Chains A and B, each alone.
Chain A
Amino acid sequence: MADSIEQGIKEIIAEVAGVEVEEIKPDTNLTKDLDIDSIKAIEITVAIEKKFKVSVRDEDVPKIMTLRQAVDLVVQLLA
């Protein structure tokens, strides 16, 4: 399940950041490496919430700095 979640989140990040899916590695830093600003952060968060039908707690949003952290969070929310 984690693999399909990872692929889904990668696609969301790639689309919002305007990069190719392959460029996103588990530890790619969203802010530093992909220029994700606050508007794009909300865009990614909303897209993840819609796709996986989960609700990310506001205080957890800043914890999403990398793809790996996003996947871990969604896996945890779906468990």
Chain B
Amino acid sequence: MSRADANIYDAVIIGAGISGLVCGCFLAKAGMQVLIAERHSRPGGYCTSFKRKGFVFDAAAHSFGSYRDNGNFHRIIRELELEQRITINKYDPADIVITPDHTLTFWADRDKTIQEFQQVFPDEPKVREFFTFMASPRPMEIVALRHKSFQELLDQYFTNNRIKAILSYPLFGNSGLPPSSLSAFTGAKIFTEFIGDGGYYPEGGMQELPNAFAHKFQELGGVMKLSSPVVRITVKDGTVSGVVLKTGETIRSRQVISNCDSRQTFLDLLGEQSIDQRVIAKLNTMTPSLSMFIVYLGVDHTFGALPPAGSTLWYLPHYDLEKLYRSAKSSSETDLTKYLLRVAPDGKSVLAMASASFKDKHYWDDNRSNLLDLFIDNIQRTTVPDLSKHVIYKEAATPYTLYRYTGNSEGAAYGWESTQQQFMDPDFKKPSFIQGLYLTGHWTTYAQGLAGVAYLGYDLAISLIRKGKTGKI
């Protein structure tokens, strides 16, 4: 009987999100026996697609960055020899910010973007300096960002609040935070990797990415169990010994990698008796990021008023991002005046999202369909006239839907909030009080976005492989 038949593995990964999949691929490539257990029926986490009435909708993640020739995500795809299997296109412009007064476009051509900003804000002398810094910050400048907020960074370059809000808004949409709370390091990282080098999309939909990783993982000998929630991480003498699946099946492994929600990892899967009190206290006080209200619209083909397919449009109703954050945090209302809108590259469907707090199931059951129509009204009043006339199919996902599919606490869209206080905390990456447990993905406090979580999975795999070679696991 092989070790896999006996349910003994070198590593078990909980969750087939992008980070878990990438980590699994590299571990399997190094010859390790690896199992990935995923609760959902398909891999991807927030990076999945679904089909309805002939339309393909991306569930949440809808494009990615860091795919330039030496970009981290490109390196991962190349090293796993996936370049021939998925076609990745870049859409230009990647991002367009629209306000009641201005439209500003983030082009792949940085000079063109800089000129556009200089024309709209002629009194701001440091536009070029800012974009140049964001394109390739020097290592020392990066280190100096660790105690700053993104607002403080912006204040070094600009005086006008409008330009600060316009530059911050795509970051708000990628972190759920206003610039005063967003760590400058995370903000700069998002800017460099997703705004400066964004707009990438796999042909066929976002699901193609996790599918390609999952196939590769299995080809390399990895075992993938879908629709298989993990209910417990087993521990013996301060060291992990494996996991138990909902089916009752016991898996033995001296290394467990959690790519799922960190509250769930610690409180539900490990249990309070196995966790340091200090970490329990943190779990009770730390803040998860905002969730999203998402609408999926199938539109008819003759509709020409849509923004360019493949570009992300950010609608900002005013320039006070602190206020936007406070209204998104509201526990009784849902502010749909600010939003992200994206026409899928096939031109057939529209995705729109607005940051929102979790609230509870009843609130969303009661308000979901009204909010869906209200959202469509807001969009047609502000950016896409006549939208409702061309909608053939409509559907909405609420923060509760996101929670139900992925298990992310409060439907959090980006793990823990990327504030300076919650930034780079080793307890959420490699907890010191237990041997053999590792965390990866957006709950670690180290990563941002799809390319960020992919890199984290890669980095963890490389580190475990090194340790394996020295016989220390």
**Cβ-based interface call for A9 (8 A):** no
* Chain A residues, CB < 8 A from B467: 18, 20
* Chain A residues, CB < 8 A from B430: 15
Q: In A19-62, which residues have CB < 8 Å from any B CB?
A: 19-20, 23, 37-39, 41-43, 45-47, 50, 55, 58, 61-62
Say which residue of B140, B424, B466 sits within 8 Å of A46 (CB atoms): B424
B140 & A47 in contact (Cβ 8 Å cutoff) = no
Highest count of chain A CB atoms <10 Å: which of B139, B143, B464, B470: B143
Q: Smallest CB-CB separation from B429: which chain A residue?
A: A15
**Cβ-based interface call for B463 (8 A):** yes
A43 & B466 in contact (Cβ 8 Å cutoff) = no
**Cβ-based interface call for B423 (8 A):** yes
**Cβ-based interface call for B244 (8 A):** no
A43 & B470 in contact (Cβ 8 Å cutoff) = no
**Cβ-based interface call for B246 (8 A):** no
A58 & B144 in contact (Cβ 8 Å cutoff) = yes
B459 & A38 in contact (Cβ 8 Å cutoff) = no
Q: How many A-B residue pairs have CB under 8 A?
A: 47
Say which residue of B143, B425, B459 sits within 8 Å of A45 (CB atoms): B143
Q: Smallest CB-CB separation from B432: which chain A residue?
A: A11
**Cβ-based interface call for B279 (8 A):** no
How far apart are the CA atoms of A3 and B467 in the complex, in Å?
Answer: 24
- How many Å from the CB of A23 to the closest CB on chain B? 8
B142 & A42 in contact (Cβ 8 Å cutoff) = yes
Highest count of chain A CB atoms <10 Å: which of B140, B147, B426: B426
Say which residue of B145, B424, B466 sits within 8 Å of A19 (CB atoms): B466
- How many Å from the CB of B467 to the closest CB on chain A? 7
* Chain A residues, CB < 8 A from B145: 42
Task: Provide the main secondary structure of the chain A interface.
Answer: helix
* Chain B residues, CB < 8 A from A18: 459, 462-464, 466-467
* Chain A residues, CB < 8 A from B53: none
How far apart are the CA atoms of A50 and B470 in the complex, in Å?
Answer: 29
A45 & B426 in contact (Cβ 8 Å cutoff) = no
Say which residue of B143, B426, B472 sits within 8 Å of A38 (CB atoms): B143
* Chain A residues, CB < 8 A from B143: 38, 41-42, 45, 58, 61
How far apart are the CA atoms of A47 and B446 in the complex, in Å?
Answer: 12
**Cβ-based interface call for B26 (8 A):** no
Say which residue of A19, A39, A47, A58 sits within 8 Å of B426 (CB atoms): A47
**Cβ-based interface call for B215 (8 A):** no
B424 & A43 in contact (Cβ 8 Å cutoff) = yes
* Chain B residues, CB < 8 A from A61: 140, 143-144
A20-B426 contact, Cβ under 8 Å, with A42-B142, A42-B143, A58-B144: no
B140 & A50 in contact (Cβ 8 Å cutoff) = no
A41-B424 contact, Cβ under 8 Å, with A18-B459, A18-B462: no
Interface residues of chain A, those whose CB is within 8 Å of chain B, are: 12, 15, 17-20, 23, 37-39, 41-43, 45-47, 50, 55, 58, 61-62
6 A-B pairs with CB atoms under 8 Å apart are A15-B426, A38-B142, A39-B142, A42-B424, A45-B146, A58-B140
